[in-house]
Amino acid sequence: MPNIKDIAKAAGVSTSTVSRVLNNNPLISLETRKHVLKVMRDFNYVPNSMARGLSNQKASTVALLVDMDDSPSFDNLFFHKVMYGIENALFKNNLSLVICNLQASGNRKKRLNSMVQGKHIQGAILPSLLLGSDLVNTLKKQEFPFVVLGEPENIAVPFDWVDINNAQGGQQAVGYLIEKGYRRIAFLRGRKTIFNRNRLLGYQAMLKQSNSPFDERLIAECDGSKDSAYREILRLLTLLSPPDAVICGDNVMSIGAMKAIREKGRKIPHDIGIISFDNYPMAELVEPTLTTVDIDLYEMGVEAVKLLLRRIENPAASHQVSLISTSLQVRESTRA
Partner DNA sequence: TTGAAAGCGCTAACAA
Partner DNA sequence: TTGTTAGCGCTTTCAA
List of residues contacting a copy of itself (CB under 8 A): 1, 44, 46-51, 53-54, 59-61, 68, 74-77, 79-81, 83-84, 87-88, 91, 96-101, 111, 113-115, 117-120, 226, 252, 255, 259, 281-282, 285, 287
Rule CB under 7 A: choose which of 12, 72, 106, 181 binds DNA: 12
> Taking CB within 5 to 8 Å according to partner kind, which of DNA, a copy of itself, none is near residue 83?
a copy of itself
Structural contact between residues 77 and 279, judged by C-beta atoms closer than 8 angstroms: no
Burial class (CB in 10 A: 0-12, 13-18, 19+), 44: exposed
Q: Are strands 146-149 and 160-164 parallel, antiparallel or unpaired?
A: parallel
Size of the site for DNA (CB under 7 A): 29
| Distance in Å, CB of 241 to a copy of itself, minimum | 30
> Taking CB within 5 to 8 Å according to partner kind, which of a copy of itself, DNA, none is near residue 255?
a copy of itself
CA atoms within 13 A on the CB side of 75: 5
Cα separation, 292 vs 327, in Å, equals 8
| Distance in Å, CB of 107 to a copy of itself, minimum | 12
Cα separation, 30 vs 36, in Å, equals 10
Residue number, 46 or 156, with CB nearest to a copy of itself: 46
Residue number, 32 or 88, with CB nearest to DNA: 32
| Distance in Å, CB of 116 to a copy of itself, minimum | 8
Burial class (CB in 10 A: 0-12, 13-18, 19+), 313: exposed
Residue number, 218 or 295, with CB nearest to a copy of itself: 295
Residue number, 32 or 225, with CB nearest to a copy of itself: 225
> Taking CB within 5 to 8 Å according to partner kind, which of DNA, a copy of itself, none is near residue 12?
DNA
Burial class (CB in 10 A: 0-12, 13-18, 19+), 72: exposed
Residues 27-86 that bind DNA (CB under 7 A): 27-29, 31-33, 47-48, 51-52, 54-57
Sequence-distant (6+) residues with CB within 8 A of 20 are 27, 28
142 binds DNA (CB under 7 A): no
Map residue 317 onto helix, strand or coil. coil
Map residue 67 onto helix, strand or coil. coil
> Taking CB within 5 to 8 Å according to partner kind, which of DNA, a copy of itself, none is near residue 239?
none
> Taking CB within 5 to 8 Å according to partner kind, which of a copy of itself, DNA, none is near residue 68?
a copy of itself
37 alpha-carbon distance from chain centroid:
39
**Cis ω for the linkage preceding 288 (within 30 of 0):** yes
Instruction: Point out which residues bind DNA (CB under 7 A).
Output: 1, 3-5, 12-20, 22-23, 27-29, 31-33, 47-48, 51-52, 54-57
